[in-house]
Chains A and B, each alone.
Chain A
Amino acid sequence: MRKVAVIGVGMVKVDHHWKESLRSLFTKAAINALEDAGNPDVEALYVGNMSAGQFNKQENLAPMLADALGLGSKPSLRVEEGCSSGAAALYMALKDVASGMHDFVLVGGVEKMMDTTTSDATFIISTVTDQEYEAFTGLSLAGINAMVMRLYMKKFGVKRESFAKFVVQMHENASKNPYAQFPFKISLDKALNSAPVAEPIHLMDCAPIGDGAAALIICPAEKAKEFTSDQVDIVGAWKANDTFLFHMRKDFLSLKATIEASRNAYDMANITPEDVDVAEVHDSFSIAGILAIEDLGFVRKGEGWMAVEEGLISLDGEIPINPSGGLKARGHPIGATGIYQAAEIVLQLRGDAGKRQVPDARIGLSHNTSGFGTSAIVHVFKAK
């Protein structure tokens, strides 16, 4: 298997893009990535999208978007993996290049959520859970996370304030990110006192709904220097699953999928969690972000909230988490998120992250999950 590098990154600001369609969002992100990469000839396209069928009544995205990009007869594939569709698309594109099948591949993620109502969107998101035994009970994805948050708070004696502090940090980071949906700081008071969504989760604990698209250009590592001097190599990638039904889990407070995906990705990359300088984790809800810090191996189980309290996750802390603002403040256009995460890590490792730069970032990871940890995908990146 060949080593693979990222040579181009393109993003659209996450927003309510009333004037943009799914097609135009994706195309814009792709053009940004192509320009960033120096316009190589793309040989294949991978698209990550969770639910255009439900949000937009549009299936068959792969040929639609290949056509929009003028790729002619070049092959394209749409990858769906719930909330981790973006990372899944990258995972498949990676295999394509690593196997030698193609050299220059464009991989992007897109989700156009704003043509639906909140209650419709909440239902569509709940389709990542078990329809007949979870969604059927009126349990939204927020609901599963909330049940876990309550159990976590009870077991480790944690108050909602700690979760609110995580949210404040996300906004602090996003205020420096031109691509973020919410590029502004918020006070702890605001983070704590928002409307309840699924108690104990409140509005400020949740990633928002929005439209967005992001894209990467990847190629074999040894060809990258023809296009760029600051390539970033993908040195580890793994996808792991856990039980599909939440009630079948052996441990309700750990995401086995995250643990397995990360440990295997670390092994591939020949690193330990301590070597990671920056991470983009899946904070669909503040509790998910806290659990990710633990399950990725940065701190022990039950200490994720302490890492937040002690400021370890800030840009200049020991384990900078979500410099982009994370799903919470950068936004979570579902199928695009995994690519936004990867794009942010690439920018960080190039030293191109502007005001939100993590100092001396050499090794970074992106962590994207589907449902409540039904699966997790971890990619490890290294600066050349």
Chain B
Amino acid sequence: MLPSNLWREIPQRYRLEAVFCPKCSTTYFPPRELCTECGSRELEKKKLPTKGKLVTYTVIHTPPKGFELYTPYIVGLVRLEDGTHITAQITDADPNKLDLDVDVEAVIRKVKENGREGPIYYGYKFRPILNANGAPERKC
């Protein structure tokens, strides 16, 4: 595939740009062309908040192609401060010590690479809010 589909999603992947329907106060991420709640076609740009809470998560051991180097990795559902939900990897977290409802914040990380020659896909992930922790030894 051409890298055009990676480039097209940059405002969402790098800056969490969403749209908002002022008529019925619904936020759409990713953005869409019309409000599917009230039908309005006048949607405005909005940036999502970068902090939220972890609603649920899974630890992936059998990855789809392209993610083999990263396993095991965590993917979670986050509820941001404005109530919008988002699916993203949870990084810098120990899968054995991750509680539901923990506070998380958005960071930019490598999501995957297209081999050693192809482009690198960067995007949002979430990590438990930065604080010092004495963590145990970790396996890969």
Residues of A at under 8 Å CB distance from B?
118-120, 122-123, 126, 132-140, 142-143, 146-148, 150-151, 154, 195-201, 245-248, 252
Closest B-chain residue to A129, C-beta based? B87
**One of B63, B68, B85 near A248 (C-beta < 8 A):** B85
Closest A-chain residue to B121, C-beta based? A136
B66 contacts across to A, CB distance below 8 A: 123, 138
B56 touches A150 (CB 8 A): yes
A245 contacts across to B, CB distance below 8 A: 87
Does B95 have its Cβ within 8 Å of any Cβ on chain A? yes
Known interface pairs A137-B87, A139-B75. Does A122 touch B63 (Cβ–Cβ under 8 Å)? yes
B56 touches A148 (CB 8 A): yes
Closest B-chain residue to A150, C-beta based? B56
B68 touches A151 (CB 8 A): no
A146 to B95, CA, bound (A): 14
Question: What does the 1/0 interface line of B58-81 toward A look like (CB < 8 Å)?
Answer: 111111111110101101110000
B56 touches A252 (CB 8 A): yes
A147 contacts across to B, CB distance below 8 A: 56-58, 75-77
B73 touches A140 (CB 8 A): no
A133 contacts across to B, CB distance below 8 A: 12, 30, 87
Known interface pairs A147-B77, A201-B58, A247-B77. Does A135 touch B85 (Cβ–Cβ under 8 Å)? no
A134 contacts across to B, CB distance below 8 A: 87
B55 touches A126 (CB 8 A): no
Known interface pairs A123-B66, A247-B87. Does A138 touch B77 (Cβ–Cβ under 8 Å)? no
A123 touches B64 (CB 8 A): yes
A142 to B75, CA, bound (A): 11
- Total residues of chain B contacting the partner, CB 8 A: 36
Closest A-chain residue to B84, C-beta based? A247
Ordered by A's residue number, 10 sampled pairs between the chains whose C-beta atoms are within 8 Å are A119-B65, A122-B63, A133-B87, A136-B111, A137-B75, A146-B58, A147-B76, A150-B56, A150-B100, A198-B61
Task: Give the total number of A-B pairs whose CB atoms are below 8 A apart.
Answer: 106
A200 contacts across to B, CB distance below 8 A: 58
B77 touches A252 (CB 8 A): yes
B56 touches A138 (CB 8 A): no
A376 to B65, CA, bound (A): 27
Known interface pairs A119-B64, A198-B60, A247-B86. Does A138 touch B75 (Cβ–Cβ under 8 Å)? yes
A118 touches B30 (CB 8 A): no
A246 contacts across to B, CB distance below 8 A: 77, 87
A247 to B84, CA, bound (A): 8
A197 to B86, CA, bound (A): 22
> Smallest Cβ distance from B19 to chain A, in angstroms?
13
**One of B56, B63, B87, B88 near A119 (C-beta < 8 A):** B63
Known interface pairs A137-B75, A147-B75. Does A196 touch B61 (Cβ–Cβ under 8 Å)? yes
A196 contacts across to B, CB distance below 8 A: 59, 61, 72
A196 to B121, CA, bound (A): 27
A154 to B125, CA, bound (A): 24
Known interface pairs A120-B65, A247-B85. Does A138 touch B70 (Cβ–Cβ under 8 Å)? yes
A122 to B85, CA, bound (A): 25
A314 to B88, CA, bound (A): 38
Does B46 have its Cβ within 8 Å of any Cβ on chain A? no
**One of B60, B95, B121 near A140 (C-beta < 8 A):** B60
A197 contacts across to B, CB distance below 8 A: 60-62
A148 to B76, CA, bound (A): 10
Does B123 have its Cβ within 8 Å of any Cβ on chain A? yes
A201 contacts across to B, CB distance below 8 A: 58
B121 touches A138 (CB 8 A): no
B121 contacts across to A, CB distance below 8 A: 136
Known interface pairs A132-B9, A147-B56. Does A138 touch B112 (Cβ–Cβ under 8 Å)? yes
> Smallest Cβ distance from A54 to chain B, in angstroms?
11
A49 to B19, CA, bound (A): 36
> Smallest Cβ distance from B26 to chain A, in angstroms?
10
Closest A-chain residue to B59, C-beta based? A199
B60 touches A139 (CB 8 A): yes
Known interface pairs A146-B58, A150-B58. Does A137 touch B65 (Cβ–Cβ under 8 Å)? no
A137 contacts across to B, CB distance below 8 A: 75, 87-89, 111, 123, 125
B9 touches A198 (CB 8 A): no
